[in-house]
Amino acid sequence: MSSGNLSEFILHHIVDGHKWQILPFEWAVVNVPAPLSLHVLMLLIGALFTFLLARTAANRVNLLPGSPVGHMVEVLLLYIRDEVARPNIGKKDGDKWVPFLATAFFFILVLNLMGLVPAFAGATANISVTAALALMVFLVFNIAGMIHNGPFHYIKNIIPSGVPMWVLPILVPIEIISIFIRAFSLTIRLFANMTAGHIMILVITGLISVLAPMISGGLHGILGGASNSIALALIAPFPLAFLLFILVIKVAVCFLQAFVFTFLSSLYIGGALHQEH
């Protein structure tokens, strides 16, 4: 594989399309119909899976969690309530925001992890998906601030009080821009982390077929016709071992990015509800 083929291989696996390759064969390609695309299909599957996860976890006989899934979800939910919502939004308001934060966390987590499962695509490596998620958080924290403080007070309180008059022409645009930058940074962070992770995995996989021709030329004099496949077998274990290491890190990054998105959302919601006066 030349470097041109490698970049095509990487782009093919990252860019959204209308073909869903379920198995690595020619016949196992499903055409996704026109209103949907591959990543939209993955969003729908992810939403269904998140719903089933929450439904299974909530399915309990008495107050004790019944299943392993219930225990797993409960640990994460308690972490979101005690370490994310309550310290950042406040004890009284924090509990009201746990459902929203938990939904965002589990949905993003499921979408991130689907990018690592074979036959599925990572929808969070598409900037439109992360932009939509960030736009939702942007609308939620602004509207929540307006409902909680009243629209007039919310907009008035964006400007910090007690600053000299001549600073205001500089300060007001900065404060207004900083609100929009929040949504933008949420978008870019999730998108860049997921895309970089996928590219990393694909580059290391592609390294096998880039490196194999390099040593097959040397082996050709000794082994003759079989040199290509033997070179492939000799070189393949090294990128694959490194790939295993990268995949372990990638699973941690999936959890971390879902957590960071939720944590920053709770910070923004807390800042909009309890503005400084």
Report, in Å, the least distance between residue 102 CB and other proteins. Answer: 17
Report, in Å, the least distance between residue 269 CB and other proteins. Answer: 16
Report, in Å, the least distance between residue 51 CB and other proteins. Answer: 27
Binding region for other proteins (CB under 8 A): 7, 10-11, 83, 188-189, 192-193, 195-196, 199, 256-257, 259-260, 263
Report, in Å, the least distance between residue 248 CB and other proteins. Answer: 16
**Residue matched to tokens 């005690």:** 82
Report, in Å, the least distance between residue 83 CB and other proteins. Answer: 6
CB nearer other proteins, residue 116 or residue 171: 116
Report, in Å, the least distance between residue 250 CB and other proteins. Answer: 12
Helix, strand, coil percent content, the chain, rounded in steps of 5: 80, 0, 20
Measured CA to CA, the distance from residue 276 to residue 158 in angstroms comes to: 8
CB nearer other proteins, residue 83 or residue 175: 83
Spatial CA neighbour of 271 closest among 112, 100, 137: 137
CB nearer other proteins, residue 148 or residue 189: 189
In the 8-state DSSP scheme, what is residue 30?
Answer: E
CB nearer other proteins, residue 11 or residue 139: 11
Q: C-alpha dihedral over 189, 194, 195, 201, to 10 degrees? A: 150
* Secondary structure (3-state) at 236: coil
CB nearer other proteins, residue 9 or residue 49: 9
Measured CA to CA, the distance from residue 23 to residue 32 in angstroms comes to: 15
CB nearer other proteins, residue 11 or residue 251: 11
In the 8-state DSSP scheme, what is residue 28?
Answer: T
Measured CA to CA, the distance from residue 144 to residue 106 in angstroms comes to: 22
Q: Quote the strand ranges of the chain, DSSP E.
A: 19-21, 29-31
Structure tokens of 163?
Answer: 């600053």
Length of the chain measured in residues = 277
Report, in Å, the least distance between residue 260 CB and other proteins. Answer: 5
CB nearer other proteins, residue 6 or residue 219: 6
Measure Cα distances from 209 to 61, 117, 218, 233, 236 in Å.
Answer: 54, 22, 16, 11, 8
